[in-house]
């Protein structure tokens, strides 16, 4: 596939124009980074794993009434998506305390957060993605208060769907980050939903099956990602006829 020059290069994906004004190509690269790009590597097949998982979840969410930018896969690591006007917010939902929340606040790692917590970071690498509250989001002009309420409602819905899904696979959906954009005035889920942007723990052993394996050298990250892909593909064989 001839893609030309990317119009945007992120830490793990590159975005390309298509012949159509309202469609883009999202290419999932094999690059893996952590700690805002300080730790960097490349793993063969990683892009395809994340693309497959993202495509699966976009499709799963669409079937459950959540609008996403996903159109179709073009090959195993290249996705055709609707062009969105991206909102520079990282929307994070947490079911269990882990990661930065344990460092910043007096939560114990593994503490259950009931009801789940949604937090928002302003997407800006140079500023280290600072936390922003609702007033700051509105003051920055990122979205209106109503749009923010809708973003949170959609995020809660996605969180519930994915928590229940992973529960069936024997995994705890600890937390995840998603990004939204606008298209024709509608709020639509964009970016990706993959092991790079979530925490997943084995229900029994609490072993990690996500980017923490790479961040904290907990083992072989590709083996961990492959396990998640295998579980999802097995679920699909059983449930999608």
d(CA 76, CA 193): 16
Residue 8: CB minimum distance to ligand C5P, A: 16
Cα 204 to Cα 228: distance, rounded to the nearest angstrom: 15
To ligand C5P, the closest distance from the beta carbon of 102 in angstroms equals 8
Minimal distance, residue 159 CB to ligand C5P, in Å = 12
- Name which of 176 and 201 has its Cβ closer to ligand C5P: 176
Residue number, 125 or 186, with CB nearest to ligand C5P: 125
**Distance (Å, whole) CA 2 – CA 63:** 31
Residue closer to ligand C5P by CB (options 46, 177) is 177
CB atoms within 10 A of CB 213: 19
The contacts of residue 207 (CB under 8 Å, 6+ apart) are 201
Q: Minimum CB separation from ligand C5P for residue 195, in Å? A: 9
Contact residues for ligand C5P, defined by CB under 6 A: 90, 92, 99-101, 129, 175-177, 197-199, 211
- The alpha carbon dihedral of 25, 29, 33, 37 has a sign of negative
Residue pair 126/181 in contact by the 8 Å Cβ criterion: no
- C-beta nearest to ligand C5P: residue: 99
Q: Are 129 and 121 in contact (CB under 8 A)?
A: yes
Tokens 């892009």, located at residue = 47
The span from the first CA to the last CA of the chain, in angstroms, equals 31
Residue (174 or 232) nearer to ligand C5P, CB: 174
Residues in the chain: 241
Provide the 3-class DSSP secondary structure of residue 151. helix
For ligand C5P, the closer CB: 14 or 194: 194
Which residue number, 56 or 176, has a Cβ lying nearer to ligand C5P?
Answer: 176
């Amino acid at each position: 596939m001839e893609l030309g020059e990317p119009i945007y290069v992120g830490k793990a994906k590159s975005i390309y124009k298509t012949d159509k004004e309202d469609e883009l190509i999202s290419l999932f690269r094999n690059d893996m980074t952590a700690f805002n790009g300080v730790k960097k590597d490349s793993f063969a097949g990683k892009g395809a794993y994340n693309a497959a998982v993202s495509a699966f979840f976009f499709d799963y969410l669409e079937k459950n009434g959540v609008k996403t930018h996903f159109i179709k896969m073009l090959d195993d690591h290249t996705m055709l998506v609707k062009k969105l006007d991206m909102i520079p917010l990282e929307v994070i939902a947490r079911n269990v305390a882990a990661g930065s929340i344990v460092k910043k606040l007096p939560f114990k790692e593994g503490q259950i957060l009931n009801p789940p917590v949604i937090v928002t970071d302003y997407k800006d690498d140079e500023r280290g993605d600072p936390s922003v509250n609702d007033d700051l989001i509105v003051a920055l002009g990122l979205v209106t208060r109503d749009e923010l309420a809708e973003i949170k409602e959609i995020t809660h819905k996605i969180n519930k769907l994915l928590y229940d899904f992973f529960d069936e696979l024997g995994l705890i959906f600890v937390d995840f980050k998603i990004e939204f954009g606008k298209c024709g005035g509608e709020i639509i889920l964009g970016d990706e939903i993959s092991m790079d942007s979530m925490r997943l723990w084995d229900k029994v052993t609490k072993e990690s099956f996500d980017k923490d394996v790479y961040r904290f050298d907990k083992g072989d990250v590709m083996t961990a990602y492959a396990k998640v892909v295998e579980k999802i593909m097995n679920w699909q064989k059983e449930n999608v006829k």
